[in-house]
Amino acid sequence: MDCKFCFKECKNLNSQKNHERLCKLNPNRQFTPFHDKEKQKEILKIKQLTNRKNQWSNKNYIISENTKKKHSEYLKNRNANESKEDKKNRIMKLSSTITKKVEEGTWHTSVSKNMHYNYRGINLHGSWELKYAKWLDENSIAWIRCKESFEYEYQGKRRRYTPDFYLPETDEYIEIKGYKTEKDDAKWSQFPSYRKLKILMAKDLKYIGVI
């Protein structure tokens, strides 16, 4: 089976037809995205973004100890070599980025929010929730992943809010929060007055020894 254009030997009839369809010497050959280098780059970029999205959205995704160690070493080196002015600029840039995300309503779809940990068969969002759950276990405090939701209104719409944890022994709901938004204020201010809700920010988690 030889190509009728370039006379390349093909394994079988299907191989011959497929080759002839794309053969460079075929005046009527079909073009695919792989003939266009720019198109190839675009396809590769989309594939990489898709793989990255799938990786972060995987509910069983767990950061390896090696990756944690490298990240910790990077932060130590950066803090040791960073001037006060550089640190100030970095924090201002980060604050500006977060503020912009909050205004756009995309803050809660960030990578940190989409990072999931499977702990004892329970899906936890972010490393702080994971550390808090472990801290509760270490201190023999009973807890469950909260499933009960509460209605609130924000921007003219009725919505539902589900706190992160529920502590049955104290009948208390716990919310782990890194950055407060207007939407959070609406959730918390409209939370039922007959229920106990505790908000744990970074300073609170540090105070009790969670982080």
User: Per DSSP, what are the bridge partners of residue 196?
Assistant: 172
Neighbouring C-alpha atoms within 13 Å toward the C-beta of 182: 10
What is the C-alpha separation between 178 and 164, in angstroms, rounded? Answer: 13
Q: pTM for the complete prediction?
A: 0.51
Give pLDDT tens digits along the chain (211 positions): 787 778 888 778 887 888 787 777 777 776 555 555 665 666 666 666 666 555 555 545 556 677 777 777 877 787 778 788 887 777 777 667 666 665 555 555 444 555 788 999 999 988 899 999 999 999 999 999 999 999 999 999 999 999 999 999 999 999 999 888 889 999 999 999 999 999 999 999 999 999 8
The Cβ of residue 165 has, within 10 Å, a number of other Cβ atoms equal to 21
148 and 155 in contact (C-beta within 8 Å)?
no
For 183-196, write each residue's pLDDT tens digit.
999 999 999 999 99
For 5-36, write each residue's pLDDT tens digit.
788 887 788 878 887 877 777 777 765 555 55
What is the C-alpha separation between 154 and 105, in angstroms, rounded? Answer: 12
User: Per DSSP, what are the bridge partners of residue 199?
Assistant: 175
Burial 13-42 (b: 16+ CB within 10 A, else e): eeebeebbeebeeeeeeeeeeeeeeeeeee
Question: Helix, strand, or coil here: 2?
Answer: strand
Architecture label for domain 116-207: 3-Layer(aba) Sandwich (3.40)
